[in-house]
Amino acid sequence: MSARFARLLRDQNTILAAVILAGVIILTISSSGGFLSPISLETFFQFLAIPIVIGLAQMAALAVGQMNLAVGAIGGFAACSAAVLIADFGVPAWLGGIIAILIGLAAGVLNGLIVVLTQINGFIVTLATMTILSGAQYAIVGTRTITSASWPEIAAIGSARPLGVPLIFWIAVVIAGLLAIGYRQTLIARNMLASGGNPLAATLSGISNNRSLVTAHGLSGLLCGVAAFLVLASLPGANKSIGEDWLLSSFAAPIIGGVSLTGGTVAVLGTVLAATIVRLVDSARAQFQLEPSWVNFVIGAVVLGTVALDRVRTRRPATRRSRPTPPDAPPTAAARAIDPGAPA
């Protein structure tokens, strides 16, 4: 029982849940209970949906040992493109929302194809994509803001409150649940994790690493497109600033949630919990009237500390395995199995 309790305390999700609970208690006390008011909670969950989705988008790329630096650029370009099509060209709002999602998917697949065809690291490819799409976003929307009055059907999704909780948050939760099931049950997801964990072993097993890379980047782009749709639903308008502050949050959620930078792992629940922590930090900034730069400082420090701790944890078992065996030490069980005559 004590061993099980000790393992529970070391579990990443348990630690993250404890941090969330502590954060909620601190914010509730400091606000004299105002943080738990219905309006405050609605606002909290309203602005939690996007960090969850973009965190999952980055997780999809990290799972195959890649990075997607264009998360914000893809989402911003997709949202602004849909807004321009709806407002300036009379495209129906529902079709514009679908186009935003498809633009994200196409951008992700294109990233994957470029990585596969050029054999250039995804870091460089998505860095270039980020620059190109950011320029394209400004080119199509300029300095204006297109108000959400142009797409009332999509805005209605953002204002819906089933069970007193914003609908866009429920959408983010459903997406997380589908990803959790997909990564656990589907063959294509297992292939992506195999390619991310050990590409050579995956190739020897008959798995196409190229297909895994394109699929992972495509999934990442698709989720960026979904985030763009949620932005159109929740914000009063679309402009060139959409997506500018997504990059750090997209990395913070999966890394703090337990996803390895080297690939081969996913942590859907951990990513959702870590995104909640990032949102709590932002709420604390508003509560204590701190400078916005402090949020980035705290999140960046936590990400750096999480990566350093993960490196320490992964190196420790390797150090134990590589430690030489003393000459007078008894043979291991494996050695006795090979040579039954070896002394015990």
Banded pLDDT at 317 (limits 50, 70, 90): low
d(CA 258, CA 271): 8
Q: How many residues does the chain have?
A: 344
Domain count, the chain: 1
User: Does position 8 have pLDDT exceeding 90, yes or no?
Assistant: no
**Both tokens assigned to 8:** 């529970």
d(CA 38, CA 306): 33
pLDDT of residue 286: 84
Enclosing H/E stretch for 24: helix 12-30
pLDDT of residue 208: 96
Distances in Å between the alpha carbon of 222 and those of 61, 76, 90, 156, 261?
A: 12, 13, 24, 22, 21
User: Whole-model pTM?
Assistant: 0.88
User: Does position 338 have pLDDT exceeding 50, yes or no?
Assistant: no
What does the pLDDT look like over 231-242, one tens digit per residue? 999 999 999 999
Residue 325 belongs to a domain: no
Cβ burial, residue 47 (10 Å; 0-12/13-18/19+): middle
pLDDT of residue 316: 59
Residue 24 belongs to a domain: no
pLDDT of residue 137: 97
What does the pLDDT look like over 171-219, one tens digit per residue? 999 999 999 999 999 999 999 999 999 999 999 999 999 999 999 999 9
pLDDT of residue 293: 74
Residue 344 belongs to a domain: no
User: Does position 314 have pLDDT exceeding 70, yes or no?
Assistant: no
Tell me the three state secondary structure of residue 245. coil
Residue 277 belongs to a domain: yes
Residue 267 belongs to a domain: yes
Residue 151 belongs to a domain: yes
pLDDT of residue 5: 54
Tell me the three state secondary structure of residue 61. helix
Domain containing 224 equals 35-313
**Both tokens assigned to 161:** 């409150």
**Both tokens assigned to 15:** 């630690």
pLDDT of residue 239: 95
Residue 145 belongs to a domain: yes
Residue 5 belongs to a domain: no
pLDDT of residue 279: 93
pLDDT of residue 307: 78
Cβ burial, residue 57 (10 Å; 0-12/13-18/19+): buried
CB 83 within 8 A of CB 232: yes
What does the pLDDT look like over 243-261, one tens digit per residue? 999 999 999 999 999 998 8
Residue 158 is which amino acid?
G
Q: What is the CATH number of the domain that holds 180?
A: 1.10.3470
